[in-house]
Amino acid sequence: MRFRNPLVSFMFWTAIGLLYLPLVYLVFQAFLENPNDWRGGFTLKWLIKLFDSPALWEPLLNSVEIGVLSATLAISLGTLGAVGLSNISAFLPPVIQTLIILPILVPEVITGLSLLLFFLLCRFDLGFLTVVVAHASFSASFVYFIMVEQLRKLDPQMGEAAQDLGAKPSEVFWKVTLPNIIPGIMGGWLLAFTLSFDDFLISFFTSGAGLTTLPLKIYSLMRIGISPELNGLSFVMICISTCLVLLLISKEQSRKWVLKG
Amino acid sequence: MGTQRIAILFLGLALVIGGILFLRGKVAHTNTLRICTWSNYFPEESLRDFTDKTGIRVELTYISSNEELFAKLKAGATGFDIIQPSDYISSRLIALSMLAPIDPRLLPNLHHLDPYYFSLPYDPGLKYTVPFTFGTTGIAVNTSKVSVPEGQLSWSFLLDSPDAGHTSLLDDMREVFSAVLFFKGLSPNSRDLASLQNVKSDISKVRDRVLMFTSEPKPLLLKQELTVAHIFSVDAIQAHRENPDIKFFIPKEGGIIWTDNFAIPSTSTRIEQAHQFINFFLEPQNNLTVVEANLLATPNKSTRQLLPEALQKDPSMYPSQETLAKLKFLEDLGDALPRLSRMWTELKS
Amino acid sequence: MKTTQYLPSSAWAFLIWLITMTLLPFTIILGMSFLERTELGTILFSFSLRNYQQLLDWVYLKVLVKTVWLALMATLSCLAIGFPVAYYLARVQGTMKSLGLILLFIPFWTNFILRIYGIVSLFGSNGILNQLLMFLGLPKASILYTRWGVYFGLVYNYLPFLVVPIYSSLEKLDPFLREAAFDLGATRFQTFRKVILPNIKEGLFIGSIFVFIPMLGEYVIPDLLGGAKEAFLGKVMVEQFFILQDWPLGSAIATMLSVLLLAALWLQNRWTSKGLAHAI
């Protein structure tokens, strides 16, 4: 079906254009000899410089490690919750529903501060572990909603049929339910990873001695001095996010979750 | 039904926790000093020297403000072996007994410090802190864009800037209030509510004129977003190095002097290694590496003699005796602080 | 609360996680908001309502009103821009739909701080916008470090949070409804008002909450794009924690924001037939 309302499509493309303006500018800047003046000609040196700045590799590695661990934690918890609650999710008392949705809705600043106080009062050393746990604390709820939807699509008769044929409940889970929700698990994991990889504010509050994640590093580069590597880095990060979106969007069920970051 | 699910639960969690512990195992080093410092204070080669000579590894955490450091410590953040609080936070940490005493016997290089620094108001006799660098707060001007009048600059050059659309104030209430208090010939540590109230209404007029408040004006000065900035001397000197047109002035009415110190939190478990670190960087040659890399002003008189003539005599780094006499340390305001902070919020609301 | 008795054990793992990692930290904030601060900035363990009294001070009320106003304006702008975007995405088919979705997603999966950095570079006094204006012989636009900078930053960053719920409720809409309305002689406007709008109002409402509440607590955008010249709630709250060492007062502000959020959720529950989780 062709879209017929030219006004709406004009507004759509204008909005998209405006959204891309800052990003296109960043990419453009990454190739400028002099980042503050476009007349200076083009160069690849900032991108090359990026590859031998250890100051950027370490935060990158931290971010990846934190992302992998927190996504794994979130996917375990979120899936467990969804497996237990998907049948009755519509009848849950409002208190529990609110509790599940809260981590998604609360302003990040409050999540960050409350977790900070929580960790400090528990005498946890701020650092790697606290950031992992903090990230999982909000991404688990995202994963939960993806998995509930995934499970709801599952034909309940499949499980029943398996049981009728003599399968034990554990076998039903491992051999019937799990293989069918694998795509959801992968999509959810990727989502949780990206949420963690992108997060700035919660890491800002919960990271302590000796830990810098990539977004924290970008923030300090941006505030503390002029660093043309930052422009090279922006280009690389924009490429990464493009790849992640393409990966996620190929998974239908996680599509609408893509934006919640 | 239930037991299988519990089994799955534990399996999942065990995997996750196992993974975490495995990854953490490779990061935790036993002989590592954890240092909480300001960004870019220690160049990598100086730390490598330290590790080579002592076998002690170093892990750095950066803070962007004293308050951030204090918040971390207050809430019981352990794990730091050396922190670098500024003077006014040092005095608070001392009052709260959060610092381990400095043992002068472990610091044979202490005598390199200028005697002036043994009698600072917040820690006379250096019982808990060792000054690492000091600086002042003043005005940076891009002289190619804004012409500077002859003679000494006044705070009015900032407060009534000729290029207000490209002027910034520090996003720090004590510093901003001090600038106006100095201008009016009052003490920056004034607790008198009536005069503070007056100062507040002056600041609100300045606020409407200037471009912004920021604690890191350096990149903006270099990008020429700013031409006049309320700035810490360290940042101004670094900006000057990249663009010689940017010059730093201590106004004639006087200004704030501050120190960043070495201190050891009382929770540190590596007190001896921490002293080793401090002592290492009191040694003039090692101190010089750090000082030269970032053009810091050093309280170390032996290091200062090793510096090029031009630097030794640079008044923006080492103010003259006459200027030094007009500089003041910020003191804790006690019960006047909440009132000041309310005024600060009022100003911005 | 009967249903809780029948919750399977795996659900409990998730719920216990939520209770420790979400509810407990909130309880700490709530508790902290009734304590007092000492002169040296440490915490005094005695019950007091002083912080809430302080919040009633006109200064904080003014900050609150200003923050709510800005967030409201930004939310409405997001609605105005977000609706056509979602409408287009819901109605267009085939390649254009996938392309449109991909194009919409990429900016928002790019690191938040980088997006802000892009805006700063774009709007700066030597940024491309001003170079262009200068080239055209027009006066420089000073958007950065003003309230407008904050406003643009908010709209830019929160737009997709609004597009998604509207898009999904439009998707759920039966296309025949619209055609039936046309067949019965309704005009475009009538169809929109009587058929489409009532069916998607839930999506609009939820989207607005998704955007409005986090905007109230926004901390980074006002700091980086607003030049810290004005105090917004998020910044005032963080300042209490980190600069003024008044954790109890900061906690009281956080509690107030959370209460606002819960009130919005409650309203949503009252007004709409299904639960929030259902509508997403």
Give the pLDDT of residue C41. 77
Percentage, residues of chain B above pLDDT 70:
90
| Closest chain C residue to the Cα of A77, Cα to Cα | C14
Q: Which of A12, A118, A246 sits opposite C102 (nearest CB)?
A: A246
Q: Which of B12, B23, B64 sits opposite A65 (nearest CB)?
A: B23
What backbone phi and psi angles, to 5 degrees, belong to B328?
-130, 150
Residue C81 distance to chain B (closest CA, Å):
29
Using one digit for the tens of pLDDT, what is the confidence trace for A208-251?
656 889 998 888 787 766 667 788 888 888 888 888 888 877 66
Number of CB pairs < 8 Å for A and B? 85
**A54-260: which CATH topology?**
MetI-like fold (1.10.3720)
Residue A115 distance to chain C (closest CA, Å):
6
Contacts of B345 in chain C (CB under 8 A): 59-60, 63, 231, 236, 239
CATH architecture of the domain covering C55-279 = Orthogonal Bundle (1.10)
Q: Which of A34-38, B223-227, C153-157, C226-230 has the highest mean pLDDT?
A: C153-157
Contact flag C22-A260 (C-beta cutoff 8 Å): no
Checking DSSP bridges between strand B57-63 and strand B32-38, what pairing results, if any? parallel
Hey, which bits of chain A come out as E strands?
32-34, 37-42
Report the candidate in C214, C217, C235 with the shortest Cα–Cα distance to residue A261: C214
**B135-256+328-348: which CATH topology?**
D-Maltodextrin-Binding Protein; domain 2 (3.40.190)
CA distance C75 to A20: 20
Contacts of A7 in chain C (CB under 8 A): 84
Instruction: Please report which residue ranges of chain C form alpha helices under DSSP H.
Output: 9-18, 24-32, 50-55, 58-91, 95-109, 112-123, 128-135, 147-172, 175-183, 188-190, 197-216, 220-225, 233-242, 247-271, 276-279
Take residue C58 and report the two structure tokens written for it: 């006109």
Q: Binning pLDDT at 50, 70 and 90, where does residue B281 land?
A: very high
Question: Domain locations in chain C?
Answer: 55-279
Residues 149-188 of A with CB under 8 A from C: none
CA distance A124 to B303: 40
Q: HSE, CB side, 13 Å, CA atoms: give it for residue B196.
A: 21
Mean pLDDT of A26-49: 79
Mean pLDDT of B215-225: 87
CA distance A176 to A82: 16
Mean pLDDT of B70-78: 74
Contact flag C230-B214 (C-beta cutoff 8 Å): no
Q: Which of A83, A97, A248 sits opposite C10 (nearest CB)?
A: A83
Instruction: Please report which residue ranges of B37-115 form alpha helices under DSSP H.
Output: 44-54, 66-74, 87-95
Q: Binning pLDDT at 50, 70 and 90, where does residue B1 land?
A: very low
On whether the CB atoms of residues A120 and A126 are closer than 8 A, the answer is yes
Q: What is the mean pLDDT of chain A?
A: 82
Residue B295 is given by DSSP the state T
Q: Binning pLDDT at 50, 70 and 90, where does residue B137 land?
A: very high
Question: Domain locations in chain B?
Answer: 32-134+257-319, 135-256+328-348
Contact flag A259-C104 (C-beta cutoff 8 Å): yes
Contacts of B168 in chain C (CB under 8 A): 227
| Closest chain B residue to the Cα of C235, Cα to Cα | B345
Q: Binning pLDDT at 50, 70 and 90, where does residue B141 land?
A: very high
Contact flag C257-A110 (C-beta cutoff 8 Å): yes
Residue A127 has pLDDT above 60, yes or no: yes
* Model ipTM value: 0.87
Which CATH number is associated with domain B32-134+257-319? 3.40.190.10
Residue A164 buriedness (CB in 10 A; 0-12 / 13-18 / 19+): exposed
On whether the CB atoms of residues B81 and B30 are closer than 8 A, the answer is no
